[in-house]
Structure 1
């Protein structure tokens, strides 16, 4: 007998429906799986056999062939266990095959018949809804994550026999309902840090607010202990609130990587990723034998923080150039090519020299000029040119810091950032792929950022005096437009351009 069940898979961060075809034929008892099944999928036969027996059903003594279609796509993971078992039971006549139509399912089976959670359920649910499925059976631990998707009924199953009884119509099980608005209201301000913790450093905090308002990349330079890391870790708290679409995009990446936190079916706060400087290029960008999302994709719609930037391997930093420009990462293999989202804000921090105290008023620098030059040459010019804002963070005296009042809380700053982003959404309405000023191309800069004669003359003189590149010229215009958005102005004026220029000067001291 032949039975067909709709299973679910994930390729990259996108869901894919897989037809699980089960054939029971006469012959010596055997169990074979075809259709480019990798190790965990081939091992499913032992889990499925034990789960069916321990759930109280008879395992058929036939020649069993399981085909996973489309056969040209590699099949990875343990999510095929449940559809395989259901296909075997349907082919044996224990489940009505007609009730399997327009029903997708995924889940790992334990030997006792219980259904365990699997990664990537949110992309699977989106794919099932897109393909017109009516029902989706998932492990109970993944049900809330899948219920975020509207237009499909999500049923949580804890055991194999429960799934069989549900499809046979012998038990009633209510689909899981989840209100994303409730999750946003409950968790939106759940950040462990706040900008109010930072005292002093008004210039640097102003730069971080501008960066958050326009989505600009930032390089913080200063001696140790000036608060570079402290500010970077709080940047996510002043970024604009996530929209539901952005939250689903971010959650898809974490779900596919198996990193979605428990009890958080939807990520409603901006991600913050801070990889160590020993990270490999595959760990940062993504890849591996089975391509997985890297840190740049896990920072999608959030912040990627690179502390001690010159300590990263040079070839690792160079692979950042393409995602910084395009907002995506393409992992090409001989058999396939996968694309991962990587639209993030990069914040980097570095010391001015190897010992860290060049320019410090108290502690003398012990580095030779050659050591300083070698240290700074670890960062290539093209990479620095792609960082919008270069901010020097000076040291703050302890006495001055103790006398400072508490700074503005993140919620107040985020309100101003939200207002600036609202102006940008109106500006780019109808322009595909652009959500903030930093994402503008040269064409959009020319269209949306028109300077008056005085401002254009100031910028032209500064470009000539500082020897800036054409890319730096456009980035200054983007920063000036963000400053104008924060001020509520329609177009940048001379003061906005002057402030934007000062965020590019540090590049030429490095």
Structure 2
């Protein structure tokens, strides 16, 4: 007898429906076809042990399991449960009249319990698209899958519950989640707030500009000046995620297995801070079946690189293309996948190995040429792609002990949201652009026009600082954002002057 059910294979952040066909007939041995990897092939032992613990048996006949379409490689242990259900029906140990109406996924332990799996959200979305009735999966993954409405989400804790449910003996109420309620309740819950930061008003201003225009930013300053503390608070002033962005972000973390048990929709912008020993493969994405790297996990959020010169040069070089194209293409011998990578880069660094070059009070002890060598660890093209260079100085004692009221992240975010609204209106004919940092080169002059006084100021700055053409575009984009924060239709000289001052690493005096 032939039994049929459905599973799913995840490719990138999308899923494809897999038909699992099981035939039990005359003969001996167990055969699995349809490009299964080693983990899928090993399901025979897990399935046999799990079924035995619940009073069922593996047929002592010829069992053929076909995973179709055969051209797609199947990976991982999440096919255990649908294979077990197919074997039970094909061997006529149970009837399962509705088996072909569900997507079924789950890894089996030897005692029959179910372990959670990765990529549940894209699988649930694909199941709904395919018109299936529901999704049977480990109970720890049920909250994540319930984000998708119009699909019966059946969470089970072991293979026995799945069998009894499909037989109609056990009534399991589908898990229903009010996605919008979860989303809106979690929007403004941030662990860190700018209200906790005394002083550093110039850095807060630079971060407000960066958040408004979606600009990349680097902070240069001595140890203990507050660079990491400030970076952690940047997500709290970014515009809230839209529901579509939240779903896309959750899909990426689901595929990577980063959601955790009983997790649901990600409603806050991600903040990723990889250590400087990270490899270029881990940053971009890795594996025979490519998994999202740190760049994609920070999609719609912030990627923070602390102590930037300590990262390997190859790691920093691979970021240039994602920064420009806002996506990552990972190619392997037999597969190529695209992961979105629309993130804000925030980096920090000491000005020199000892950390006190250009310090207002402490003397730098680095020898001649050491500072330049240290800065050269970060390539010029990468620095050119970072819009704002900001110097961070230690907070003075009077500011640190001040009892005056400090502006909160909420009030800063209100101004950021207003600035973003102007940009959305400006680019309503170009839906792929929604912030000033995304303005393509051919539109910079049209979107960021400056008057004669502004041109004279910019010409003088470029000649003195030796700025590249890319830096010229960056200055105009930042000036456009400063004007948006001032609710000004035109870029004025003062807006341009403020934008120019955020190119610290291009100035003379940073040569070492």
TM-score bin (small chain): over 0.9
Find the counterpart in structure 1 of residue 20 from structure 2. Answer: 20
Find the counterpart in structure 2 of residue 4 from structure 1. Answer: 4
Aligned partners of 1:197 and 1:406 also within 8 Å: no
Find the counterpart in structure 2 of residue 129 from structure 1. Answer: 128
Aligned partners of 1:445 and 1:477 also within 8 Å: yes
- Root-mean-square deviation over aligned CA pairs: 1.9
Choose 50-59 or 448-457, whichever is displaced more: 448-457
Choose 379-388 or 481-490, whichever is displaced more: 481-490
Find the counterpart in structure 2 of residue 412 from structure 1. Answer: 411
Distance in 2 (alpha carbons) for counterparts of 1:450 and 1:457: 13
Aligned partners of 1:126 and 1:149 also within 8 Å: yes
Aligned residues between the structures = 509
Find the counterpart in structure 2 of residue 356 from structure 1. Answer: 355
Q: Deviations over 1:229-266 (max 9, x none)?
A: 11111111111111111111111111111111344311
- Name the CA shift for 1:262/1:492 in 2 (closer, same or farther; >3 Å): farther
Deviation of 1:98 after TM superposition, in Å, equals 5.5
Deviation of 1:499 after TM superposition, in Å, equals 1.2
Deviation of 1:147 after TM superposition, in Å, equals 0.9
Deviation of 1:483 after TM superposition, in Å, equals 1.5
Find the counterpart in structure 2 of residue 167 from structure 1. Answer: 166
Find the counterpart in structure 2 of residue 270 from structure 1. Answer: 269
Deviation of 1:96 after TM superposition, in Å, equals 4.5
Distance in 2 (alpha carbons) for counterparts of 1:360 and 1:465: 23
Distance in 2 (alpha carbons) for counterparts of 1:176 and 1:445: 49
Equivalent runs, 1:45-194 vs 2, <5 Å: 45-96=44-95, 99-194=98-193
- Name the CA shift for 1:225/1:250 in 2 (closer, same or farther; >3 Å): same
Deviation of 1:406 after TM superposition, in Å, equals 4.3
Deviation of 1:388 after TM superposition, in Å, equals 0.8
Deviation of 1:467 after TM superposition, in Å, equals 2.6
Aligned partners of 1:392 and 1:506 also within 8 Å: no
Aligned partners of 1:35 and 1:72 also within 8 Å: yes
- Name the CA shift for 1:429/1:176 in 2 (closer, same or farther; >3 Å): farther
Aligned partners of 1:145 and 1:266 also within 8 Å: yes
Distance in 1 (alpha carbons) for counterparts of 2:484 and 2:25: 70
Distance in 1 (alpha carbons) for counterparts of 2:98 and 2:274: 47
Deviation of 1:94 after TM superposition, in Å, equals 4.2
- Name the CA shift for 1:134/1:457 in 2 (closer, same or farther; >3 Å): farther
Distance in 1 (alpha carbons) for counterparts of 2:208 and 2:410: 12
Deviation of 1:117 after TM superposition, in Å, equals 1.3
Distance in 1 (alpha carbons) for counterparts of 2:18 and 2:332: 21
Deviation of 1:42 after TM superposition, in Å, equals 1.4
Distance in 2 (alpha carbons) for counterparts of 1:81 and 1:331: 28
Distance in 1 (alpha carbons) for counterparts of 2:149 and 2:399: 54
Distance in 1 (alpha carbons) for counterparts of 2:10 and 2:228: 36
SS at match of 1:330: strand
- Name the CA shift for 1:102/1:496 in 2 (closer, same or farther; >3 Å): farther
Find the counterpart in structure 1 of residue 332 from structure 2. Answer: 333
- Name the CA shift for 1:491/1:149 in 2 (closer, same or farther; >3 Å): farther
Distance in 2 (alpha carbons) for counterparts of 1:56 and 1:41: 23
Aligned partners of 1:199 and 1:405 also within 8 Å: no
Q: Deviations over 1:93-112 (max 9, x none)?
A: 34556623342111112223
Find the counterpart in structure 1 of residue 281 from structure 2. Answer: 282
Choose 152-161 or 14-23, whichever is displaced more: 152-161
Query: Is 2:448 the counterpart of 1:449?
Result: yes
Q: Deviations over 1:332-391 (max 9, x none)?
A: 111011111211111111111110111223221110122112111111111111111111
Find the counterpart in structure 1 of residue 260 from structure 2. Answer: 261
Equivalent runs, 1:408-487 vs 2, <5 Å: 408-487=407-486
Deviation of 1:446 after TM superposition, in Å, equals 3.7
Aligned partners of 1:9 and 1:79 also within 8 Å: no
For structure 2, the residue ranges without an aligned partner over 5 or more in a row are none
Distance in 1 (alpha carbons) for counterparts of 2:119 and 2:316: 29
Equivalent runs, 1:229-268 vs 2, <5 Å: 229-268=228-267
Distance in 1 (alpha carbons) for counterparts of 2:496 and 2:276: 35
Deviation of 1:14 after TM superposition, in Å, equals 2.0
Q: Deviations over 1:420-468 (max 9, x none)?
A: 2222222222424223221221234344333344334433443344332
TM-score when normalising by structure 2: 0.95
SS at match of 1:276: coil
Aligned partners of 1:95 and 1:167 also within 8 Å: no
Deviation of 1:121 after TM superposition, in Å, equals 0.5
SS at match of 1:247: helix
Choose 213-222 or 420-429, whichever is displaced more: 420-429
Equivalent runs, 1:315-330 vs 2, <5 Å: 315-330=314-329
Distance in 1 (alpha carbons) for counterparts of 2:289 and 2:283: 15
Deviation of 1:274 after TM superposition, in Å, equals 0.9
Aligned partners of 2:225 and 2:392 also within 8 Å: yes
SS at match of 2:369: helix
Distance in 1 (alpha carbons) for counterparts of 2:402 and 2:150: 57
Aligned partners of 1:314 and 1:379 also within 8 Å: yes
TM-score when normalising by structure 1: 0.95
Distance in 2 (alpha carbons) for counterparts of 1:99 and 1:490: 62
Aligned partners of 1:200 and 1:404 also within 8 Å: no
